[in-house]
Chains A and B, each alone.
Chain A
Amino acid sequence: MSTDVRSRPRTAAPAPGKARKSDRARAEARLGWLLAGPAFVVMLAVTAYPIAQAVYESLFRFRLTAPDDRAFVGLGNYGVILTDPVFWWSLLVTTVIMVITVAIELVLGFALALVMHRAVLRLRGLLRTAILVPYGIITVVSAFAWFYAFNIDSGYVNSWFDWVPGISSDLNWFAGTGTSLFVIIASEVWKTTPFISLLLLAGLAQVPGDLEEAAQVDGATWWQRMKRVVLPNMKAAIMVAVLFRALDAFRVFDNVFIMTNGANGTTVLSLLAYRTSIGRLEIGLGSAISVLLFVCVLIICFIAIKIFKVDLAGARGEK
């Protein structure tokens, strides 16, 4: 799906004169911006403007309940944040959650994509419907479902799995960093694997069937076919899926807010920003954290595009 398809009808049109062509091009450009302009402006207005304001406000010491104390502090807020272990710890926790969820989801999502791809027609609808349920569910609902299941008071997980070493009726999942993160990641994985698996399903559909058949005729094993034919052809789809999910996972908030609200060292960056600006009403500090979070996302994108050569535009049909 690229330029040639788009331009086909145009070249088929009766060839106009040169002057008319540029007139027409200008009219087309005007119409194009007329149609696309509102969406473009809205997108900029709801993101670029707030982030600019955040950058400005991050230069002040400003607490909403002490409006008279507002003072310009330059980069002081950034200094406080960047020298504070709380910030670095939450950056680490956020990164750990991001890496683990994306890794699990990639494997699980790929398995689900294969299942959906190969299922007989009768099962396909059923499987897709089931897989879409977590996709459609509200994250907060998922967080509560997992929280109540593992909660030491109202949960049943401890009594179901007490044969597993380390799990007993005395295990308080939300009292330790590791166990809290385990449940947070489980809920996150459950809720978002369908998304990654659908992206991978789209990638699977692009693998040329004849190539795979040829490999099969050549006597290649299933694993060999995966490694040599399927995966290389899906590289773009995988990279895009990983990048999108990684950036999404980096923003993790809902699950942590509901399950621990940051207790036991599970404060993620988004929660830190929320607690500072919305909870403590420290607008200056909070804005600075928001800006740093934004910078982190930019860095992840930069790494993905420059080092892993994720071709977003190409993979998304924009060549």
Chain B
Amino acid sequence: MGAATALTGKQKVAWAAITVAVLVWALFPVISIMATSFKLPSDLNSGSFLPTTWTWSNYEQILGPDGSAQELFLSSLRNSIGISLIATAVSSVLATLAAYAIARLEFPGRKLILTTALGVSIFPVISIVTPLFNLWRSIGLYDTWAGLVIPYLSLTLPISIWTLTAFFRQIPWELEQAAQVDGATTWQAFRKAIIPLAAPGVFTTALIAFFIAWNDFVYGISLTSTEAARPVPAALAFFSGASQFEDPTGAISAAAVVVTIPVVVLVLLFQRQIVSGLTQGAVKG
């Protein structure tokens, strides 16, 4: 890996260049929309990257008490956080149980469950949307939190099961064995010995699941129609300017920045866990 060996001067320069290139590539679009979010409406068409005069007015529009998009934005933020958290929680619980069974127990159908998860994860979302829309409107789940949590499970469950199964297979099961020898049942062993060991994996998986639910757009625009359940990505597409014909570029940019902040914070805090979660769940030879 060469991490331990000292770098020559040339290598240092090369690494510095690579790092800068990667940083620019990864962060530039974020900085770009951030710059747009500080522009006045009349400054938008100047063709320059940075605002000529910096303004908070776009943020006031979405967050301020008199902001025209405040209600739309804050309610969608509430919906997005709530729905994504519930979907994450439900899928984490279901996936933890399933992954434990798959990793630990010998029972017919393990492979079937994993294959199903794989199949569901490659399923084209739009194929489910039409029938779900039809079903939801007849049973009253249209435009409700539950109406989004349920389809979100189709996005979060498969990857959670795969990632957690991979995690659980690395846990030293001798501990459970030891607990069982001490007279604990399988369930007790699971609770006392395994949960503490599995918690980091579950946390990482939940983080990834949350990102996926947070990102959804297709379900969000198709299965909601009011502030009762409309999530952030859908609300972004519905913003408006001072009148219905004015483009809400500034407000959208400001809202985009606001909803990106939690993502950046989570990534900063947990990059190691996210990387290990994604790589573990993915390939195990």
Contacts and interface: CB of A to CB of B under 8 A. Distances in A.
Interface of A: 1, 5-6, 8-10, 12-13, 25, 28-29, 31-36, 38-40, 42-44, 46-47, 49-51, 53-54, 57, 112, 115, 117-121, 123, 125-142, 144-146, 148-149, 153-156, 158-160, 169, 187, 190, 194-195, 198-199, 201-203, 205-206, 209, 236-237, 240-241, 244, 247, 250-251, 253-254, 257-258, 269-270, 273-274, 277-278, 283, 286-287, 290-291, 293-294, 296-297, 301, 312-318
Interface stretch (B56-64, B67-75, B155-163, B196-204): B155-163
Interface in B212-250: 214-215, 217-218, 221-222, 232-233, 236-237, 249
Given A35-B98, A290-B130, A297 B122 contact: yes
In the A-B complex, list the 8 residue pairs whose CB atoms are closest, starting with the nearest: A317-B284, A32-B107, A202-B279, A39-B98, A35-B101, A136-B263, A29-B107, A53-B131
Contact of A137 (B118, B135, B260): B260
B271 interface: yes
A134 B80 CA distance: 19
B128 A141 contact: no
A34 B101 CA distance: 9
Interface residues of B, dominant DSSP: helix
B30 interface: yes
A205 B236 contact: no
Given A35-B101, A53-B134, A297-B124, 5 more contacts: A40-B116, A117-B1, A144-B236, A270-B218, A316-B166
A252 B268 CA distance: 28
21 contacts: A6-B169, A33-B109, A46-B151, A53-B134, A112-B22, A121-B3, A123-B15, A132-B271, A133-B27, A136-B211, A138-B233, A138-B259, A148-B253, A169-B47, A187-B29, A241-B282, A251-B124, A313-B111, A313-B115, A316-B282, A316-B284
Contacts of A139: 215, 217, 233
A159 B15 CA distance: 31
A293 B127 contact: yes
B266 interface: yes
A61 to B, nearest CB: 15
Given A47-B154, A136-B264, A141-B260, A148 B36 contact: yes
Contacts of B260: 137-138, 141
Given A198-B275, A290-B130, A38 B97 contact: yes
A312 B129 CA distance: 27
Interface of B: 1-3, 7, 15, 18-19, 22-23, 25-27, 29-30, 32-33, 36, 44-45, 47-49, 94-95, 97-98, 100-120, 122-135, 150-151, 153-154, 157-158, 161-162, 165-166, 169-170, 173-174, 176-177, 186, 211, 214-215, 217-218, 221-222, 232-233, 236-237, 249, 252-253, 256, 259-260, 263-264, 266-268, 271-272, 274-275, 278-280, 282-285
Contact of A145 (B30, B100, B106, B264): B30
Nearest to B21: A115
A288 B134 CA distance: 14
A206 B217 contact: no
Contacts of B217: 138-140, 253-254, 257
A129 B116 contact: no
Contacts of A317: 165-166, 169, 283-285
Most buried by B among A53, A112, A318: A318
A33 B101 CA distance: 8
Most buried by A among B26, B113, B125: B26
A129 B268 contact: yes
A149 to B, nearest CB: 5
A25 B271 contact: no
A6 to B, nearest CB: 7
Nearest to B166: A317
